[in-house]
Every structure is written in structure tokens, then in C-alpha cells.
Amino acid sequence: MLRIFKQPLFLIGFLVICGLLITSFWYSFQTGGHVKKLGLLYDQSGKLLGLPPFTPKDVPPFGTDENGYPLLFIILNGAKYTLLFSLVIGILRTFIGLAVGLIVSVTPLKIKSTPSTLFQAIQTVPISLVLYFILQPAIFDNDKYVFFMDVIRYSGGYSQYPPTTLWDVVLFETILLTAVSVPLVSKMFADEARDLLKKEYVNVSKTLGASKWTQIRKHVLPELMPKVFVVWIQQIIQALLIIGQLGVLQLYFGGTDVIRRAMETDVIPRTNEWSGFIGYQYQNFGATPWTVLIPLAFFFLVILSYNLLLEGFNRTRERQKFSKKMAKRKGATAPSKAPVLQQSDFHISS
């Protein structure tokens, strides 16, 4: 298991993601989530240099947004939400999919064929479009939620409905984002498990009296484990992409503040979570392109690291398989190296 950390690709991916997470937590711990806002900037003689937003050239390394907050702070502060959320969704998708897939793989054929084709429909639609219509009312048309803090502050009369809190919406999104990919993941695991259940050694154990559960536990699960890891990482990447798309459509999972004014509606992300920040900043893409492109570059970096992790994992597995095969071949050929017949075995009869 530890050998995998010697694979450089895996190590790079692992270090980048862990590094980002740890830095993010450390940074928000240090600053307490607050950082000095940059206002007007003067040089030593008191000449005005500029006002926010500052470009990456003015305020290295990444510049500031239009409120004067340094982008580095925003990105580091937001990393933990995005990374942890995608991690959790990846875990949920994989393990619920695995459980459902294993159950499906042992049920009789007639029952499962119908619902599986029904649920496959989800592959044929742009999923973020459908998610948008489900999530949008929960986030937008819900002023109880939006002004929840105000309700507490002024202790107004919203008593007939329990207000939807931030956690309700986050939980809701998590469930939805998990549910949309369970059909696909479970089908894959079910196919895989069914193939394994057909293997000879499983058949042997069946004739020896192993129950379905024993077959799954002893024979299928150990074989599936590497696949589970691969699927987990793939699902994290998928989740990141969907979160990004939803963020662009102005659904920020880290909490959305909808401020209704007389003429217009402002949608503001509550945390500095990446996708929300990108979606929010896209409105000013023409004026401050770096506030969109730099967080997106971090998105790219994270996805790249996950892919590196996956590639490193696959390579290690291949090498292991290869060395096992070689060992087997050596073991098989070793005894035959000694010549079976010696010259002394032959007698020349006269």
C-alpha cells in the first residue's frame, strides 16, 4: 500500500490536493476568515496610485477583486469548501453506487432489467440543466431562507414555516448531486460484480455452500477495491465539473444571498467557495478577467492533480500485475530448468 507513494505522479497529485486543503485550513485559522481589505493605494510621496480592483501586476500574486480583497486570500479561503464538498460527494456516490450495484448483481434478472433502463435516461440529458431547475427554487424563491439572519435580528413574524437554513440547502444539494450519478455508478459496479460472480473459483465456492453474501464479501469485494478507488476519484472530478457549471449558472452551494432591490436582484455567494466566486465574478468578466480566470486555473489544477493521482495509481497497479505475472511464470518454469533425462539414464544395449 505504501509503495504507491513512491509513484511520482501519484505523489504529485496527492501533495497538491493535500497541500491546498491544509493551507486553506491553516490560512483561515490564522486569519479567522478576515483579511485586510485594500482600499486606495498611495505611494510614499502621497500620490494616489490606484483603487481596487487591482490587477495581478499591481498586487502580486493574483490581484484583488472589485471590493479590494486579495484574490489569494479568497482562493485559499474557498478551497476548503470546494475540495471537501467534492470529496464527500465522491464518497457518497461511490459507496451508495457500490451498495446498490452489489444488491442488483445478486437479484434475479427479471426484476432489475426494467428499472435499470429507466434510470439510464439520466445519462442522456445535460445534468446541470435539470439540477438547475430543481435547485433554483430552493435557493431563489425562498426569501425566508434569504433573510433568515434578518428574521433573527428583528425577530419578525415568520412563524408558520420553519426557515430553510444554509445547512438544509447544502444537504439538499449533496443528496441531489449524489442521486444523479448513482444509476450510472451502480450499473457499472453491478456489471463488474456479475462478471466476477461468473468466475470459476466463485462457482467452486458456491458448490461448497457459500451464500450470496459470502461470495460477495470474500470474492467480489476484494477484486473490486481498486476499481472503487478509481471510481471515487472519477466521481470527484465529475462532481467538481458539475459544481463549476452550477456556479456559473449562479447557484452557489456555499450559500446564496439574494438581495432584492426595487429594480434588480443581486445574487451574492455567501462563502468564498470557488464555483460561486467564479459565477459571481463572471458578471465583471470584461473589467476584471483575472478574478474569473485565476480561480478557474485552480479548478484546472485540482482536476489535473486528481487525474495524476489516478494515472499514478493505475501505473502502480499495472506494475504489480506485471511483476506478479512474472513471478508466476518464473515459479512455473523453475523446476523444468533441471533436465529431466540425464545422459546416465540411457543405456546402450548391445
Mark residues 171-210: x for contact with another protein by CB under 8 A, - for none.
xx--------------------------------------
86 binds another protein (CB under 8 A): no
Residue 258 lies near another protein (rule: CB under 8 A): no
Rounded distance between C-alpha atoms, residue 58 and residue 50, angstroms = 9
Least distance (Å) between residue 184 CB and another protein = 11
Instruction: Please report whether residue 142 would count as binding another protein according to CB under 8 A.
Output: yes
129 binds another protein (CB under 8 A): yes
Which listed residue (23, 67, 107, 117) binds another protein by CB under 8 A? Answer: 117
Binding another protein (rule: CB under 8 A), the pick from 188, 248, 257, 315 is 248
Task: Report the nearest approach of another protein to the CB of residue 191 (Å).
Answer: 12
Which cell goes with 34? 478576515
SS (H, E, C) the chain: CHHHHHCHHHHHHHHHHHHHHHHHHHHHHHHCCCCCCCCCEECCCCCEEECCCCCCCCCCCCCECCCCCEHHHHHHHHHHHHHHHHHHHHHHHHHHHHHHHHHHHHCCHHHHHHHHHHHHHHHHCCHHHHHHHHHHHHHCCCHHHHCHHHHHHHCCCCCCCCCCCHHHHHHHHHHHHHHCCHHHHHHHHHHHHHHHHCCHHHHHHHHCCCCHHHHHHHHHHHHHHHHHHHHHHHHHHHHHHHHHHHHHCCCCCCCEEEEECCCCEEEEECCCCHHHHHHHHHHHCCCCCHHHHHHHHHHHHHHHHHHHHHHHHHHHHHHHHHHHHHHHHHHHHCHHHCCCCCHHHCCCCC
126 binds another protein (CB under 8 A): yes
From 300, 319, 324, 326, residue interacting with another protein (rule: CB under 8 A): 300
Rule CB under 8 A: is residue 304 a binding residue for another protein? yes
Residues sharing a CB contact under 8 Å with residue 107, sequence separation 6 or more, in sequence order: none
Is residue 292 a contact point for another protein (CB under 8 A)? yes
Minimum distance from residue 278 beta carbon to another protein (Å)? 7
Backbone phi, then psi, for 45, in 5-degree steps? -85, 5
Interaction residues for another protein, span 87-116 (CB under 8 A): 114
Q: Which residue, 206 or 317, is less far from another protein as judged by CB?
A: 317
Task: Note whether 132 binds another protein by CB under 8 A.
Answer: yes
| Per-residue x/- track, 309-338, another protein (CB under 8 A) | --x------x--------------------
Which of 134, 204, 259, 268 is close enough to bind another protein by CB under 8 A?
134
Q: Which stretch binds another protein (CB under 8 A): 16-24, 78-86, 198-206, 288-296?
A: 288-296
Interface stretch with another protein, choices 66-74, 94-102, 165-173, 334-342 (CB under 8 A): 165-173
Q: Per rule CB under 8 A, is residue 125 in the interface with another protein?
A: yes
b/e map 193-207, b = 16+ CB within 10 Å: beebbeeeebeebee
Which of 21, 88, 233, 303 forms a contact with another protein (CB under 8 A)?
A: 303
Q: Which residues bind another protein (CB under 8 A)?
A: 114, 117-130, 132-134, 137-138, 142, 145, 164, 168-169, 171-172, 240-241, 244-245, 248-249, 278, 282, 285-286, 289, 292-293, 296-297, 299-300, 303-304, 306-307, 311, 318
